[in-house]
Structure 1
Amino acid sequence: MKYYLKASTLLLLLFLATSCKSLDIKKITSKIDTEIGSDSSEDYFQGVLIYDLKSRDTIYSHNSNKYFTPASNTKIFTLYAALKTLPENIPSLKYIAYKDTLFIEGTGDPTLLHPYFKDSSALKLIKKHNHIALHLNHFKEERFGPGWAWEDYDSYYSPERSGFPLYGNIVDIHMTDSLMVTPKIFQDKVVPIDYIRNREEEKNVFYFDTSRKDTLSVPFKVDTSLTKGLLETVLQQQIKIVAEMPSLIKKTLYSIPSDSVYKRMMLESDNFLAEQLLILSSSTLSDTLNSGTARRYVLEHYLSDLKQAPRWVDGSGLSRYNLFSPESMVAVLTKMVEEFPQDRILHLFPLGGVSGTLEERFPGNPGPYIYAKSGSLGNNYCLSGYLITNSGKTLIFSFMNNHFIKSGAAVRRSMQHIFEHLRDNY
């Protein structure tokens, strides 16, 4: 009898605990339903998935298996691809020392002479040799991604993709006592007038209003002769262009920590770094540089279990051809913290109210609680990442908004109400 009473008591307590938890979840989801179903949200498309990492419970789901234009949320997939395919340090260069010549080819490394990283690891190696042969034919990629806006060619956020990028494929122009241009090779290519465009579309002629106080960053048009000229200028020695590498084993030169590039990409939503990271990933999989190789490999080998196979066409999310579901976003975010240390992953994401593209958005009270990647294109705003509740639980979420015509600020306010509700009550 005593055993029976104890068992009955335990069952009752378990039932009550489960009932209380169900009531709490229902109360939380009811609040989210109200926000999602409000009059202000009824004229655009929303998808939401909120997942409890520890309990493996889905807290809330709304259109989570539907496809959305993700914008820069695409960089979450790019980050995962890089984490799975790249070593701790960036593969900067592949080379063969043969007879009296150093043969070199790029890996797509975006950091060489980049204005932020200023890495010169490859230059230090090259300068040790008197005869340099540069191979560029292994880059098999269009300069722009599919679906990119053609008119963005002269915008800072749309540099060309390339196999041997230098200076971030960007020209920086600013005015001090005189016109300052980096790289200096473009000094006489800058026309000091106020003009509707920053650069001619098909050639490296730039326009700069000398009355502006800030720095103008403009993508330059990449070609073989320019890459050769930029390298020769910085090395102060002649370089020969070759059609192929010798048939010998290539060595790889490694440079800066990979995490420093990932963090910069995620915090600043840097499109150039995102595109080049996929090209860099392809350099570890094949002798040919092509971002499609990296995307296919990651989807086939690491993400074949996704319930909604994404349409993934670039690394940055500039293309509106990209299509991802909230469920796929949450799946990849979950894989990240299961396969790599959680502290490392959180460190790579913008922190709400503190850093990167979230510095002025989704602040905490009293402290920050959201680690997430935003994504915005005209009429679209998405946010996916991790939410740490006041009770210490980690929630993984993806909140995707497409086709709204009201302000993005209004959309974000609605999202913030939901996030704060989860933070305070879950």
Structure 2
Amino acid sequence: MKRSVIFLILILSFSSLLFSFPSFSQLSRDQYQKLESALGDQSFFSGHLTGFMLYDLDSQRVLFEKNSQIRFIPASTTKLWTLFSATVVLQDSTQTIRYITSGDTIKIWGSGDPTWKYKNFQQPDFQKIIGPYSVVVFSDANQISPAYGYGWQWDDYYYDFSAERSPLPIYGNLLQVKKVENRPEVFPTRFQGSIRTTQKPIKELERDFHSNTFAYNPATFLGREKFIPLLTSPQLFVELASAEIGKTWIYQPDSLPQDHKVFRGSPLFPLLKEMMLESDNFLAEQMLFMVSDRLFGQIDTDRAIEYILKTHLSDLPDTPKWVDGSGLSRHNLFTPRSMVAIFDKIYRILPEDQLYEFLPTGGVSGTLKNSYQAAKPYIFAKTGTMSNNHSLVGLIKTKSGRTYCFAFMNSNYPHTASAVRREMEKVMVLVRDIL
């Protein structure tokens, strides 16, 4: 174990040293002019803020850059930073709970594991831990970070991509909705009695901002939204956990004692793969919760980010403003060259086959399934999109057989995201064809 940790540190240090002193590779005049024309003052990208860097991972050389020192809102490309953090801190398994036992009682503190009854992940074996005890006490006293991240948009609260964060989620902190005839049926079923009808012209089941009460209009209900975030609370959690386990849970916000045990419940790889391919915000946020818990025995996203930046990422070309795990916040700010730097680190610590499993593939998988289509896939990258911001960071395979890293970031554009993607694709096809 000690050898593997030392080896990892040496790899990261070597990568850091190389990237601290980038040199520029010589493009031909024709290649340079084509890229400059595609991204320059007369191009589509002149009407908004665009940053671009193309980097040779093998020679550690920058091939081309445009505004790579300017900070952009990264949206979901922030998940690359979460991927790096989870890989170096969590390594191969989730943090699930911390606990103590006394007589017939077990006291539990959640560590951020998001897998319990969420999607099709391997389930933590709670019966193995809880089974012998008749009394289960739950505490959230170890949670410092709030349910919502800093800078999240308040009116996203009824969309499934903005589920609340919690120390021990169940059902992904979501309410499942099915349309039966012209009415909604929900799970957990305890919320069925909290649904009312309304005359407001809404098309989906909508949650009240302040409570877990819901409304729909029978005349206009479409039932396309399959999940709605729940308003979380420790009281609701123990109720849902009691129903799921078949044993009563009690909420008691006791502090976590020094002398306690740790349970790690699930393999990490499937969570990271889902987080990256489908850009799952909930998984990303809970990932940083687990990172913090592993480091400090406390759930504090700010502290975890500060630690990662000061230790593993102290050599970045530009200091980022990094505030959450998913990229939902508009307070996140990263430069294209720091995006390339973090990808360079990921590239050097992950096995190649695993890295490609994590990256959406153009025309094939994940968030790139309908973009960058080609007979031979050439784009393997993480996307990031929110209003007026779209980024792509990852790998491009060129016709010469070479593989390069790139960061392509756009902010403040007046177009649709699909229009920006189409123009970005033209640039990436150019890169593929001329290199």
- TM-score, normalising length: structure 2: 0.88
Residue 425 of structure 1 pairs with residue 434 of structure 2:
yes
Q: Distance in 2 between matches of 1:104 and 1:51?
A: 47
| Structure 2: runs of 5 or more not aligned | 1-24
Q: Distance in 2 between matches of 1:238 and 1:285?
A: 31
Which of 185, 189, 192 is 1:187 aligned to?
192
Equivalence for 1:396: 405
Equivalence for 1:341: 351
CA RMSD between the two structures? 2.0
Which of 78, 89, 92 is 1:88 aligned to?
92
State the AA in 2 paired with 1:168. G
Query: What is the CA distance between 1:86 and its match in structure 2?
Result: 0.5
Q: Distance in 1 between matches of 2:208 and 2:350?
A: 45
Equivalence for 1:102: 106
| Aligned 1:304-383 pairs, distance under 5 A | 304-364=314-374, 366-383=375-392
* SS state at 2:356 partner: helix
State the AA in 2 paired with 1:156. D
Gap change, CA 1:306 and 1:246, over 3 Å in 2:
closer
* Alpha-carbon contact 1:103-1:245 (below 8 Å) kept: no
- Select between 180-189 and 375-384 the one with higher mean Cα deviation: 180-189
Query: What is the CA distance between 1:219 and its match in structure 2?
Result: 0.4
Gap change, CA 1:347 and 1:321, over 3 Å in 2:
same
| Aligned 1:139-288 pairs, distance under 5 A | 139-176=143-180, 179-193=184-198, 195=200, 196=202, 198-208=206-216, 211-244=221-254, 247=257, 249-288=259-298
Cα deviation code 1:369-395 (max 9, x no counterpart):
111111111111110011122332221
* SS state at 1:266 partner: helix
* Alpha-carbon contact 1:384-1:398 (below 8 Å) kept: yes
Query: What is the CA distance between 1:332 and its match in structure 2?
Result: 0.5
* SS state at 1:384 partner: strand
Cα deviation code 1:239-284 (max 9, x no counterpart):
2223325746322222222111111111111111111110110010
Cα deviation code 1:154-203 (max 9, x no counterpart):
11111111112111010011123674322222221222557547110110
Q: Distance in 2 between matches of 1:388 and 1:42?
A: 26
State the AA in 1 paired with 2:382. K
State the AA in 2 paired with 1:291. T
Gap change, CA 1:25 and 1:254, over 3 Å in 2:
farther
Query: What is the CA distance between 1:30 and its match in structure 2?
Result: 1.5
Gap change, CA 1:236 and 1:111, over 3 Å in 2:
same
* SS state at 1:373 partner: strand
Which of 31, 36, 41 is 2:34 aligned to?
31
* Alpha-carbon contact 2:92-2:269 (below 8 Å) kept: yes
Gap change, CA 1:369 and 1:176, over 3 Å in 2:
same
State the AA in 2 paired with 1:73. T
State the AA in 1 paired with 2:378. Y
| Aligned 1:32-71 pairs, distance under 5 A | 32-37=35-40, 38-71=42-75
* SS state at 2:47 partner: coil
Cα deviation code 1:336-362 (max 9, x no counterpart):
111221221121111111111111011
Q: Distance in 2 between matches of 1:234 and 1:208?
A: 27
Q: Distance in 1 between matches of 2:427 and 2:29?
A: 14
Equivalence for 1:9: none
Which of 309, 320, 327 is 1:299 aligned to?
309
Which of 78, 85, 94 is 1:74 aligned to?
78
Q: Distance in 2 between matches of 1:327 and 1:165?
A: 35
* Alpha-carbon contact 2:163-2:174 (below 8 Å) kept: yes
* Alpha-carbon contact 1:96-1:102 (below 8 Å) kept: yes
Cα deviation code 1:42-86 (max 9, x no counterpart):
210110010011122211111101111111111111111111110
Gap change, CA 1:69 and 1:215, over 3 Å in 2:
closer
Q: Distance in 2 between matches of 1:190 and 1:243?
A: 31
* Alpha-carbon contact 2:142-2:255 (below 8 Å) kept: no
- Select between 33-42 and 137-146 the one with higher mean Cα deviation: 33-42
- Indicate the structure (1 or 2) with the bigger Cα radius of gyration: 1
Equivalence for 1:10: none
- Select between 37-46 and 294-303 the one with higher mean Cα deviation: 37-46
State the AA in 2 paired with 1:71. A
Q: Distance in 2 between matches of 1:110 and 1:325?
A: 30
| Structure 1: runs of 5 or more not aligned | 1-20
Cα deviation code 1:289-329 (max 9, x no counterpart):
11112111110110000121000011111111110000000
Cα deviation code 1:5-64 (max 9, x no counterpart):
xxxxxxxxxxxxxxxx94x54322211111112342221011001001112221111110
Gap change, CA 1:285 and 1:193, over 3 Å in 2:
same
* SS state at 1:59 partner: strand
State the AA in 2 paired with 1:298. I
Which of 413, 416, 419 is 2:422 aligned to?
413
* SS state at 1:109 partner: coil
Gap change, CA 1:87 and 1:32, over 3 Å in 2:
same
Q: Distance in 2 between matches of 1:408 and 1:245?
A: 46
Q: Distance in 1 between matches of 2:424 and 2:35?
A: 9
